[in-house]
Amino acid sequence: MFPNQSKLLIQIACFMILISLAAWGGARWALVQVRSEQFAPWWQSEANNGQRLLPVGASTSIPDFVLASERSTPAVVYIKTQSTQAMRSFNDWFFGDFFNQGPQTVLNSGSGVIVSEDGYIVTNNHVVEKASKIEVVLYNKKSLSAELIGSDPGSDLALLKIEATSLPIIPFANSSQVKVGEWVLAVGNPFNLTSTVTAGIVSAKGRNLHLMSNLFPIEAFIQTDAAINPGNSGGALVNTNGALIGINTAILSKTGSYNGYGFAIPSNIVRKVIGDLKEFGKVQRAFLGAEVVDLDEKICKQTGIQHMNGVFITSINQSGGAREAGLQSGDVITAINNESVHSKSAYDEQLSYRRPGETVEIQIEREGKIIKCKVRLTNLDGDTEIQKNRSVRSTELGCELEPLSKMELDGLQTSHGVRIVSIQAGTLSRMGLREGFVITHVNKKAMQSPTDVIDALSSTRGQITIEGYDKNGGKAVYSFYGF
């Protein structure tokens, strides 16, 4: 081999080595870059000419649960109640009070939220509905007696009042602006464990669970996976700013304990209800004057409607704003005051913010055409008057009674009737009657008012027969032998 050839081969070998080293270094650099991109937090990745990109709706900050807890827990109270209920024995059905085992004291507990510095507290109706004594334990462990200002079984809310000043409060948030996926905290006293905070997200909105026994319930629950257990009822559901977005009310569970599903009454409904209870002692419920149901596949197939977004009008009441505005059976309501109405629960929620006498703009779809009209809302009696609390309490009977409205009487197809609002220890509980039962006759005599019922049951001796309707509208008869 010639010397020049040896030199050339050496140069070629060196060049190949350099190329190999360069290729190896480049591959290693690329691998490092891939790994760093693969494992780096998303907020450190760059694209689009070096501009930082964030996922849609993402935030670089972690929710401050500590701040929200500190703001909300001082305003959530522990509620202890005492009620007296009669113990019925087999002999009660035959011998009246003579062999009655006597009243039994029942203790219960729940939570509440302070909504004013001068001592107004909102809680669930089912926490205090049978209570003869209500005690509120503040965050500083001070105990105070509470007065029941008013309650509303239809929304399962109640308003209490304690004598105190300068109390910590939770500000109201606009529950209509709450988004599914938003972080929330549930604050309450589960299992008698005071000031407990759990975290989760909003799982859904506008849930209708058919929990309320009232003839005209308001159900548009916020669903959350924040842990809610017995004792949380009446507590607060707050956002990460510590503002109130709902009152915790129910859980969905086969065991009675948390199973991933909790439900809260939206704060906008809470604000309206407690405002009415404070001002009038009774919730001023507004009605359109139409019966509606959710659109479903069957209705759409029968009517030719091409979507299931809205509520379907099945009938128009003889009196009310719907008839005056020209609404018809078969119309589909799709919006109220420009707020979309996609379900019966959304429809009920929109009306729950209103009072009789207010006018709303209704958007309907009729035979494929969009129509807008103004409708004046009415009360249960079909007029626009503010309704007063007409309930009457009877210690002897152990109950609170109220007359039925015109709309309720029409719904039951009767001309008279008196509803049992609440029951404590007394004659009615021994007979097995329950809240929500409508008494139409006592010993065949028609009952027109609460006073009629009280007089009839207080003066009758011997056999007593009560006729009426249960909370589902079914006819029922109770028979009892008294002295």
Q: Which residues form the catalytic set?
A: 126, 156, 233
Under 8 Å CB-to-CB from 62, ≥6 apart: which residues? none
Q: In this structure, are residues 323 and 289 in contact, taking their beta carbons and an 8 Å threshold? A: yes
pLDDT of residue 92: 41
- Cα gap 60→40, rounded to integer Å: 14
- The top-scoring range by mean pLDDT among 27-36, 77-86, 107-116 is 107-116
Calpha distance 292→320 (Å, rounded): 14
- The whole-angstrom separation of Cα 245 and Cα 240 is 10
Q: Give the separation between CA 20 and CA 446, rounded to whole angstroms.
A: 105
What integer pLDDT is reported at residue 138 of this predicted model? 96
Q: For the beta carbon of residue 304, count every other beta carbon within 10 angstroms.
A: 8
**pLDDT tens readout for residues 362-379:** 999 999 899 999 999 998
Alpha helices in 344-405 (DSSP H): 344-352
Higher pLDDT, 86 or 324: 324
Which residues are 186's β-sheet partners? 198, 237
Asked if residue 95 has pLDDT above 70, the reply is no
Statement: residue 101 has pLDDT above 60: no
Q: Confirm if 168 and 140 have CB atoms less than 8 A apart.
A: no
State pLDDT tens for residues 284-318.
999 999 999 999 999 999 999 988 899 999 999 88
- Quote the percentage of the chain above a pLDDT of 90: 52
pLDDT at 358: 94
Name 395's Cβ contacts closer than 8 Å, sequence gap at least 6. Answer: 426
3-state SS, residue 148: strand
Query: Whole-model pTM?
Result: 0.75
Q: How confident is the model at residue 89 (pLDDT cuts 50, 70, 90)?
A: very low
Residue carrying the six token digits 């004046």: 376
356: DSSP letter? T
77 three-state secondary structure: strand
Max intra-chain CA distance, the chain: 138
d(CA 235, CA 69) in angstroms, rounded, equals: 13
The conformation of residue 60, written as its DSSP 8-state character, comes to S
Confidence of residue 252 (pLDDT cuts 50, 70, 90): low
Q: Cα dist. 79→70, 146, 459 in Å?
A: 20, 9, 38
Are 221 and 232 within 8 A, CB to CB? no
- For the residues of 169-222, what is the DSSP string, one character each? --PBP-GGG--TT-EEEEEE-GGG--SEEEEEEEEEEEE------SSS----EE
What is the CA 407 to chain-centroid distance, rounded? 24
Mean of the pLDDT values across residues 187-210? Answer: 87
Q: Is the pLDDT of residue 49 over 70?
A: no
Residue 71, pLDDT above cutoff 90: yes
Lowest mean pLDDT among 162-166, 306-310, 432-436: 432-436
Angle between helix 267-280 and 344-352 (nearest 10): 40
- Per-residue pLDDT band at 29 (split at 50, 70, 90): very low
Q: Give the range among 94-103, 330-339, 414-423 with minimum mean pLDDT.
A: 94-103
Nearest to 349 by CA among 434, 273, 258: 273
Pairing assessment for the beta strands 133-137 and 76-86 based on DSSP bridges: antiparallel
| 91 vs 268, more confident | 268
The amino acid sitting at 413 is Q
Residue 211, pLDDT score: 63
Whether residue 50 has pLDDT greater than 50: no
160 pLDDT more than 50: yes
Coil, helix or strand for 26? Answer: helix
Using 50, 70 and 90 to split pLDDT, how confident is the model at 27? Answer: very low
**Which residues lie below 8 Å from residue 48, measured CB to CB, with a gap of 6+?**
none
3-state secondary structure of 413: coil
Q: Which of the two residues, 219 and 279, has the higher pLDDT score? A: 279
Can you list the pairs that 102-106 forms with residues at least 24 positions away whose Cβ atoms lie under 8 Å? Answer: 103/425, 104/425, 106/82, 106/130
Give the model's confidence band at 235: pLDDT under 50 very low, under 70 low, under 90 confident, else very high: very high
pLDDT at 473 (0 to 100): 82
**Tokens representing residue 113 in the block:** 């939220």
Q: What is the pLDDT of residue 42?
A: 31
Instruction: Work out the pLDDT band at 278, boundaries 50, 70, 90.
Output: very high
DSSP-based three-state secondary structure for 78: strand
| Higher per-residue confidence, 267 vs 13 | 267
Burial of 266 per CB tally in 10 Å (0-12, 13-18, 19+)? buried
Q: What's the one-letter identity of residue 378?
A: T
Instruction: Please report the pLDDT score of residue 102 as a whole number.
Output: 55
Kindly report the average pLDDT of the chain as a whole number: 82
pLDDT score recorded for residue 427: 78
